[in-house]
Amino acid sequence: MIRFDRASVERGGQLVVEAVSLHVRSGEAWAVIGAGGAGKSMLVAAAAAAVPLHGGDILVDGHSVRREADAVRMAAGYVPDRPPDWPGLRAGELLELCAAAAGLRGGPLRQAVEKGLRLAGLAGRGGDEIDGLDAARAKRLLVARAVLHDPQVLLLDDPCGGLDPAGRREVERLIGDAHLMDRTVLAAIDDARVPECFTHLAVLREGRLVASGRNDPAAFAEGRRWQLAIRCPGRAEEAARAIGSLVEEARAVDDDRVVSCIDPAAASPAEVVAAAVRAGLPVEEAGYDPPWQAQLIEG
């Protein structure tokens, strides 16, 4: 559904995306992660034909970004990281413009605008000026704009940025629903807190694709060590001894918490927690710390 063929993007005379090749299949939801400046947003924008390619090509639903940019824009719904800088533009006007550009007219256009305003949390408030919206409503409006024409592909730049927990859940539900309906999603994620609605990850470092696979630590486990934290109130030292034979560098960082490095080929997090439980220790919580996706970015 989206095929990157050695795609490169240049900004200010420098390559910010360099020779990326990746195949995103129909029904998959990919999160692009990486440190700040890794090229995540530019990769998504290039797929949306929002920035020009310096080299290579990208096919979106069979359409070339280089040769068929208009067809790409019709096939995909694109969510940039911020609203357009059009002073005085109202929420309803933005949705009307986008619905008309997608070929909607009359009743279908009005229905699409009303649906978009509801999705943005702006039902009955189409007259609100965009530059007066808070960050959360502005982001939801951009998401609503992207899905107006019911595209098969969603291209999202930091879709949960600036959203409150309720807004994050709504966007995650949208992505999950798109996946279930066999639509394709590609999103740049800025904070490495990758929601479970994403099926796959692509890791960029300085504009290059350095790893890709399913959104599962096991898919990236070869040759890695993951940092795992276990909370055992008042008994961290005992927990460190109980799990010591399964992990590397188990140490109590305070009275309640033990941190260790695990080799996924030698022991799973579940096995480490089970060892603590068998020792009669009260395990309140356990998990990768920081999240395993953040550890993946750090290399």
With pLDDT > 90 as the criterion, what percentage of the chain qualifies?
60
CATH class of this structure's domain 2-215: alpha beta
Q: Quote the CA–CA distance of 237 and 291 in Å, as a whole number.
A: 23
Superfamily per CATH, domain 221-298? YebC, transcriptional regulation domain (3.30.70.980)
* pLDDT over threshold 80, residue 32: yes
What confidence score (pLDDT) does residue 246 get? 94
Is the peptide bond between 290 and the residue preceding it cis, with omega within 30 degrees of 0? Answer: yes
DSSP string, 11-34: ETTEEEEEEEEEEE-TT-EEEEE-
Least confident of 56-65, 116-125, 223-232: 116-125
Q: Quote the CA–CA distance of 186 and 10 in Å, as a whole number.
A: 20
Contacts of 99 (CB under 8 A, 6+ apart): 109, 112, 113, 116, 148, 149
Tokens, residue 28? 């998959």
Which of 53, 55, 97, 47 shows the shortest CA–CA distance to 77?
47
* CA angle (121 as vertex; 119, 125 as ends), nearest 5: 110
Q: In what order do the strands lie in the sheet with 14-24?
A: 14-24, 2-11, 55-60, 63-64
Question: pLDDT confidence of 44, banded at 50, 70, 90?
Answer: very high
User: Among all chains, which residue has been given the structure tokens 């911020």?
Assistant: 82
Q: Which helix (H) or strand (E) holds 278?
A: helix 269-278
Q: What is the mean pLDDT of the chain?
A: 91
Confirm if 256 and 233 have CB atoms less than 8 A apart. Answer: yes
pLDDT, one tens digit per residue, over 119-172 is 888 999 999 998 888 877 888 888 888 888 888 999 999 888 777 788 788 788
* pLDDT over threshold 80, residue 287: yes
Report domain extents, the chain. Answer: 2-215, 221-298
User: Among all chains, which residue has been given the structure tokens 């639903």?
Assistant: 61
Average pLDDT over residues 198-227: 93
What confidence score (pLDDT) does residue 174 get? 79
Residue type, position 41, single letter: S
Tokens, residue 56? 């290579």
pLDDT, one tens digit per residue, over 63-95 is 999 999 989 988 999 988 877 777 789 999 999
Burial status of residue 152 (CB atoms within 10 A of its CB: 0-12, 13-18, 19 or more): middle
- Cα atoms found within 13 Å of the Cα of residue 5, Cβ hemisphere only: 12
* CA angle (25 as vertex; 73, 23 as ends), nearest 5: 85
What confidence score (pLDDT) does residue 18 get? 97
Q: Quote the CA–CA distance of 211 and 215 in Å, as a whole number.
A: 12
- The torsion angles phi and psi of 148, rounded to 5 degrees, stand at -55, -45
Other Cβ atoms less than 10 A from the Cβ of 261: the count is 14
